[in-house]
């Protein structure tokens, strides 16, 4: 656990946090001396102005998705706890908050802080212990912690019990991937068409939406991967979740 995540854990311990229903993100912000406001902002999802005695978090009034609001709040609380003595103003645009690996050390630290504050590692690991990362399992965790389903998929990648890869597919093109260290297949090119004979491929090529996890051949997803080539009959589980009107998140895990 890095220093940013440790700082988030220490904050929760200092507040007596035991479960998500104990305190909302707004209440945690207040406990940190931060006022929360909603206002119209052009090209900015959230920002924080800090002083020696506290600060003001502003959230774009156009955002009404509570998991997103929760993450923005946790992110800005992170700036306050980690960077209050460095810079008085942080403004986060849509691009930076849409990416988990935002450029810049301070943004990465604030994201790590927010992830631990919103989905504490020990509590999340208990919630998904022994369970495969199906949409139902991830949806339950997301609802429990007040996070987005995509964020919960990525948290499972780090803390779940099964090797997994999470893939973002937009307009039929692989845009992003991330996998647990123990996932056996790694080689998947970005900005390439989604493989046709996969669950994600069914979604984009045949407008087919599978209700549950389906088995796929590893070689179909990873034709250039040595491990898949060596074991062409190896199967994986795959299930997809809607990310936006033109994008899905595909979760692939080992049997």
Give residue limits of the domains in the chain: 3-118, 160-253
DSSP-assigned beta bridge partners for residue 177: 167
Please tell me the predicted confidence (pLDDT) of residue 104: 66
Find out whether 161 and 129 touch, Cβ atoms under 8 Å: yes
CATH topology of domain 3-118: Arc Repressor Mutant, subunit A (1.10.10)
CATH 1.10.1660 fits domain 160-253: no
**131 is written with which tokens?**
């369970």
- Does this chain's domain 3-118 share its CATH topology with 160-253? no
Distances (CA, A) of 239 to 25, 201, 210, 227: 30, 11, 8, 22
- What is the Cα–Cα distance from 146 to 30, expressed in whole angstroms? 18
Band of pLDDT at residue 145, cut at 50, 70 and 90: very high
> For residue range 48-107, what is the model confidence (pLDDT) as tens digits?
888 777 789 999 999 999 999 999 999 999 988 887 665 555 445 444 444 434 456 778
- What is the Cα–Cα distance from 48 to 5, expressed in whole angstroms? 20
Stretch 142-153: mean pLDDT, rounded?
95
Asked whether the CA dihedral 88, 147, 158, 99 is positive or negative, the reply is: negative
Q: Which pTM was predicted?
A: 0.84
Q: Among residues of the chain, what percentage have pLDDT more than 70?
A: 92
> For residue range 157-185, what is the model confidence (pLDDT) as tens digits?
999 999 999 999 999 999 999 999 999 99
Find out whether 110 and 132 touch, Cβ atoms under 8 Å: no
């Amino acid at each position: 656990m890095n220093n940013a995540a440790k700082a988030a854990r220490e904050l929760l311990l200092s507040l007596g946090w035991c479960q998500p229903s104990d305190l909302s993100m707004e209440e945690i912000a207040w406990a940190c001396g931060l006022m929360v406001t909603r206002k119209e902002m052009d090209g900015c999802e959230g920002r924080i102005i800090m002083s020696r005695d506290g600060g003001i978090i502003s959230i774009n009034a156009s955002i009404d998705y509570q998991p997103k609001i929760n993450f923005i709040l946790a992110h800005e609380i992170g700036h306050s706890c980690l960077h209050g003595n460095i810079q008085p103003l942080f403004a986060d645009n849509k691009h930076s908050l849409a990416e988990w690996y935002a450029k810049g050390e301070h943004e990465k630290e604030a994201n790590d802080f927010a992830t631990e504050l919103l989905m504490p590692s020990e509590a999340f690991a208990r919630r998904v212990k022994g369970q495969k990362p199906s949409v139902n399992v991830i949806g339950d965790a997301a609802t429990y912690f007040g996070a987005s389903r995509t964020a919960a998929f990525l948290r499972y990648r780090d803390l779940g019990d099964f090797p997994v890869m999470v893939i973002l597919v937009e307009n039929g093109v692989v845009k992003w991937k991330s996998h647990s260290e123990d996932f056996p297949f790694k080689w998947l090119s970005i900005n390439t068409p989604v493989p046709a004979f996969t669950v994600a491929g069914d979604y984009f090529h045949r407008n087919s939406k599978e209700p549950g996890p389906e088995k796929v051949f590893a070689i179909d997803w990873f034709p250039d991967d040595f491990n898949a080539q060596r074991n062409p009959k190896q199967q994986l589980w795959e299930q997809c979740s809607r990310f936006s009107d033109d994008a899905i998140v595909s979760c692939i895990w080992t049997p």
